[in-house]
């Protein structure tokens, strides 16, 4: 009898090698062996799992390794909601997580944080949220509530946040748990794919607000990826005159379509001089760095005017970067950092509802959930072609 139980246990575990385990009121995806798992006896919940208690998920067990497998479908507790994911975009953080270079990402985990979906289930404390409601998910799962950032309302700088697709399971799955307080109604005129891009749009909104970009001011954007192109659109809405530089012609053409007054091929020899021409050589009021490379970071001080503001959205991932402090100090430039967004989702959703921004052209590729690793590799290998690749867990 004991032998029989042991073999059932091991077989069950080998089919379901991951368990959702509660740690400080959170689910985390943890690999468990048969001897460690307390829920694999023949009468246990795992053994009695039926198909509806499981889901497909792209599990990143360790860097550079993603496998789509059946895992237990999480149950919402407290103020949590279970979201049926309809669209999840592949962002640079997912790439860093996949490559093992993101400081916050834990393994095994499910990556993916730019997402939208439908409320499938709610925890007992959730109020004002209906099953079936279509939502855009803000990526915070839990904040400490005690640190200076949380207390001052600048919650994006929380010292110990739980963030979807980073240190709690994310959106490259059929279902995902979310904090109901960070769910926002999907604009009815937007597709789920577009609603997944509320996240990068909110980064652009946050950047423009933090800079204080206004009517008639000049903005230079380095990098015409999703963030650069969205910052261009939001800066235009604020009334700015915008120039964009990038090395990819198709992305520059898109920037032109979105209203850039000047686009410059960054690989051309006199790229900086061409950019400065638009300001009669004086430099820009604002320079937005949206690439995150040492070279483009150095270029920011060449493009800014005396007294101008440099906004660093791109991030090289290094502790110390080279930038001309001589220029920043002697020309009284301001250097601003940014960490995602904070209370910007409502603005982004309003802009989408009123058709003030174009998101559809940014969606260049779509993949199925089974193709998650292929999608991530595609974004890594062909950066010139991709603006945003979207993973769709179910085909409509």
Binding site for Zn ion (CB under 5 A): 91, 93, 114, 143-144, 147, 150, 158
Q: What's the closest the beta carbon of residue 340 comes to Zn ion, in angstroms?
A: 8
Q: What's the token pair of residue 248?
A: 């990819």
Q: How many CA atoms does the CB half-sphere of 380 hold within 13 Å? A: 14
Q: Nearer to Zn ion by C-beta: 33 or 153? A: 153
Q: How many CA atoms does the CB half-sphere of 274 hold within 13 Å? A: 15
Q: What's the closest the beta carbon of residue 30 comes to Zn ion, in angstroms?
A: 24
Q: Nearer to Zn ion by C-beta: 46 or 363? A: 363
Q: Nearer to Zn ion by C-beta: 81 or 137? A: 137
Q: Nearer to Zn ion by C-beta: 167 or 243? A: 167
Let me know the angle formed at the C-alpha of 97 by 96 and 99, rounded to the nearest 5 degrees. Answer: 65
Q: Nearer to Zn ion by C-beta: 152 or 280? A: 152
Task: Answer for the pair 181, 90: CB distance below 8 angstroms, yes or no.
Answer: no
Q: What's the closest the beta carbon of residue 95 comes to Zn ion, in angstroms?
A: 10
The candidate with the shortest Cα–Cα distance to 391, out of 140, 97, 170, 207, is 170
Task: Answer for the pair 233, 204: CB distance below 8 angstroms, yes or no.
Answer: yes
Q: Nearer to Zn ion by C-beta: 32 or 144? A: 144
Q: What's the closest the beta carbon of residue 234 comes to Zn ion, in angstroms?
A: 16
Q: What's the closest the beta carbon of residue 171 comes to Zn ion, in angstroms?
A: 11
Q: Nearer to Zn ion by C-beta: 46 or 376? A: 376
Q: What's the closest the beta carbon of residue 94 comes to Zn ion, in angstroms?
A: 7
Q: What's the closest the beta carbon of residue 189 comes to Zn ion, in angstroms?
A: 23
* DSSP string of 91-157, one letter each residue: -HHHHHHHHT--TT--SSEE---EEEEEEEEE-TT--S--TT-EEEEPSEEE--S-SHHHHTT-GGG
The candidate with the shortest Cα–Cα distance to 175, out of 302, 58, 329, is 58
Strand 114-122 and strand 175-179: the pairing is unpaired
Rounded Cα–Cα distance for residues 271 and 268 (Å): 5
């Amino acid at each position: 009898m004991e032998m029989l139980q042991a073999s059932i246990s091991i077989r069950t575990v080998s089919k379901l090698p991951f368990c959702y385990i509660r740690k400080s009121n959170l689910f985390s995806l943890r690999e468990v062996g048969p001897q460690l798992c307390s829920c694999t006896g023949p009468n246990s919940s795992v053994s009695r799992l039926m198909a509806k208690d499981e889901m497909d998920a792209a599990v990143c067990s360790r860097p550079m390794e993603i496998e789509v497998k059946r895992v237990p479908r999480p149950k919402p507790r407290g103020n949590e909601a279970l979201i049926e994911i309809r669209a999840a975009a592949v962002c640079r953080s997912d790439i860093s997580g996949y490559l093992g270079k993101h400081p916050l990402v834990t393994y095994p985990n499910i990556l993916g944080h730019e997402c939208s979906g439908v409320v499938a289930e709610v925890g007992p404390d959730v109020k004002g949220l209906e099953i079936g409601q279509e939502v855009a998910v803000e990526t915070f799962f839990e904040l400490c509530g005690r640190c200076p950032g949380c207390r001052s309302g600048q919650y994006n700088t929380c010292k110990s946040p739980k963030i979807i697709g980073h240190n709690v399971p994310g959106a490259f799955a059929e279902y995902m748990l979310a904090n109901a307080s960070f769910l926002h109604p999907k604009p009815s005129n937007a597709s789920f794919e577009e609603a997944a891009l509320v996240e990068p749009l909110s980064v652009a909104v946050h950047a423009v607000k933090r800079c204080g970009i206004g009517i008639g001011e000049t903005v230079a954007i380095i990098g015409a990826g999703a963030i650069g192109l969205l910052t261009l659109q939001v800066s235009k809405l604020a009334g700015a005159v915008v120039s964009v530089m990038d090395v990819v012609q198709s992305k520059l053409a898109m920037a032109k379509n979105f209203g850039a007054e000047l686009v410059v091929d960054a690989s051309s020899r006199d790229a900086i001089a061409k950019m400065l021409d638009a300001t009669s050589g004086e430099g820009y009021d604002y320079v937005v760095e949206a690439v995150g490379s040492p070279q483009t970071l150095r270029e920011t001080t060449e493009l800014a005017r005396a007294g101008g503001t440099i906004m660093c959205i791109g991030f090289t991932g290094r502790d110390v970067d080279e930038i001309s402090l001589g220029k920043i100090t002697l020309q009284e430039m301001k250097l601003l950092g940014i960490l995602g967004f904070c209370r910007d989702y409502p603005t982004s959703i309003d802009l989408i509802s009123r058709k003030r921004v174009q998101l559809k052209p940014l969606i260049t590729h779509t993949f199925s959930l089974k193709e998650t690793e292929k999608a991530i590799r595609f974004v890594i290998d062909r950066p010139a072609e991709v603006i945003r690749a979207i993973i769709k867990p179910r085909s409509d």
